[in-house]
């Protein structure tokens, strides 16, 4: 770590180059002999990432950023803040600390935080970041599991963000293939933490996760602007009869959707009415559509379409459309009515992809006028013309 990369002159120079392509920047000649092109480029990429992903760091001149791969694997500021506000705690430890974004958020919400990072090359970057931010987090370079085994502390929260990229799997999908293996270490985690929070990929199956982790109190499906970023599993030794599933779509005004986990799927169906509702990505991941119908005065179009309808407009956690027309999915009729028009295209339980449909009917793009290629329990294959509200 070259401290000269954050001196005032170089910092100003790099911030003036934020618009530049990193590969091109790497090949340019720069007016600094004391800092290599590689070091300059690494810092530039860090600043570019920080500006959007964790702007609280971007405002500090003296943060030194690690390689790009470490920044891509860390939480964003908005998801880190969300995590830090879920539990009322005084002490927490992050045993897979990385660059320390999550710990930085927790440090603003609780009294004592501890950061443990296995990588001897990455841990100093996090430690310096805490120092620059004025955060009193203790940071250690160690194996997180071994650190817990040796620790005499019992924390209010043990936080784990196990790696999905391991020596044996380029991108692990099953929980048992993550590193560290949280399933094998559940007793240790729950003995050292009154609560345990595990962050996983959104690809992980929720039913399998609940079964394997055994002590799950709640699962948070965290999306940002309708892109599911992570699953958060909250565990404790408390007896839990029902697991809460919380679907949140951050940086939108959509309401949080909370329900108890259920694997049932019995629905009342309806033809398209006046309004059409498309659940946000977090709810789509949860698959808790029966609970959605319990909480909102809606009817489902079809078993596998996952679109909903009503005659009255409601505040809904997802996109809302006013239906203009519903027709059978007949190519000749569709060409006559809609070919070469500007439309947003959505497919739900439809064999043809959006790309295929755009080419087939020569659709142009549009932000508010949509066609839904979907299905209805009562009508079969249909196309719904709708305007986004």
The average confidence (pLDDT) of the chain is 93
Please give the angle made by the CA atoms of 198, 200 and 201, to the nearest 5 degrees. 170
Tell me the residue ranges of DSSP E strands in the chain: 91-94, 112-117, 138-141, 155-160, 193-200, 216-224, 227-235, 244-250, 257-260, 275-279, 299-300, 308-310, 318-328, 344-347, 369-376, 380-388
Whether the predicted pLDDT of 269 surpasses 60? yes
pLDDT in tens, 222-258: 999 999 999 999 999 888 889 999 999 999 999 999 9
N-to-C CA span, the chain: 51
Contact 90, 112 (CB under 8 A): yes
User: 33-79 pLDDT, tens per residue?
Assistant: 899 999 999 999 999 999 999 999 999 999 999 999 999 989 999 99
The residue ranking higher by pLDDT, 177 or 315, is 315
Whole-prediction pTM = 0.90
Residue 238 confidence (pLDDT): 86
Confidence of residue 1 (pLDDT cuts 50, 70, 90): confident
């Amino acid at each position: 770590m070259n401290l000269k990369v954050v001196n005032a002159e170089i910092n100003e120079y790099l911030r003036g180059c934020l618009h530049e392509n990193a590969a091109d920047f790497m090949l340019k000649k720069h007016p600094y002999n004391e800092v290599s092109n590689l070091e300059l480029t690494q810092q530039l990429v860090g600043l570019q990432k920080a500006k959007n992903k964790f702007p609280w760091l971007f405002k500090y001149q003296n943060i030194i950023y690690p390689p790009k791969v470490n920044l891509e694997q860390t939480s964003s500021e908005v998801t880190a803040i969300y995590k830090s506000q879920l539990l009322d705690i005084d002490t927490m430890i992050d045993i897979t600390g990385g660059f320390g974004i999550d710990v930085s958020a927790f440090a603003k919400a609780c009294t004592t935080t501890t950061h443990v990072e296995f990588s001897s090359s990455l841990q100093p970057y996090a430690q310096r970041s805490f120092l620059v931010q004025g955060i009193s987090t203790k940071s250690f370079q160690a194996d997180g599991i071994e650190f817990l085994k040796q620790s005499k502390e019992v924390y209010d929260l043990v936080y784990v963000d196990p790696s999905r990229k391991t020596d044996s799997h380029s991108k692990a999908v099953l929980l048992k293939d993550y590193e560290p293996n949280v399933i094998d270490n559940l007793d240790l985690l729950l003995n050292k933490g009154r609560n345990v929070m595990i962050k996983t990929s959104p690809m992980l199956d929720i039913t399998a996760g609940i079964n394997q982790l055994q002590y799950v109190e709640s699962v948070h499906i965290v999306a940002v602007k309708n892109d599911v970023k992570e699953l958060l599993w909250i565990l404790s030794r408390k007896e839990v009869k029902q697991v809460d599933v919380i679907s949140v779509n951050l940086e939108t005004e959509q309401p949080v959707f909370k329900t108890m986990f259920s694997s049932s799927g019995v629905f009342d169906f309806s033809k398209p009415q006046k309004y059409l509702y498309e659940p946000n990505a977090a709810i789509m991941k949860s698959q808790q559509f029966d609970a959605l119908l319990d909480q909102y005065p809606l009817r489902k179009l079809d078993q596998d379409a996952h679109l909903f309808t009503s005659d009255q407009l409601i505040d809904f956690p997802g996109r809302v459309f006013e239906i203009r027309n519903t027709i059978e999915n007949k190519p000749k009729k569709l060409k006559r009515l809609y070919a070469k028009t500007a439309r947003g295209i959505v497919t739900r339980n439809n064999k043809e992809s959006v790309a295929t449909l755009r080419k087939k009917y020569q659709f142009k793009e549009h932000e508010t006028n949509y066609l839904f290629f979907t299905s209805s329990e009562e009508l079969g294959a249909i196309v719904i013309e709708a305007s986004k509200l």
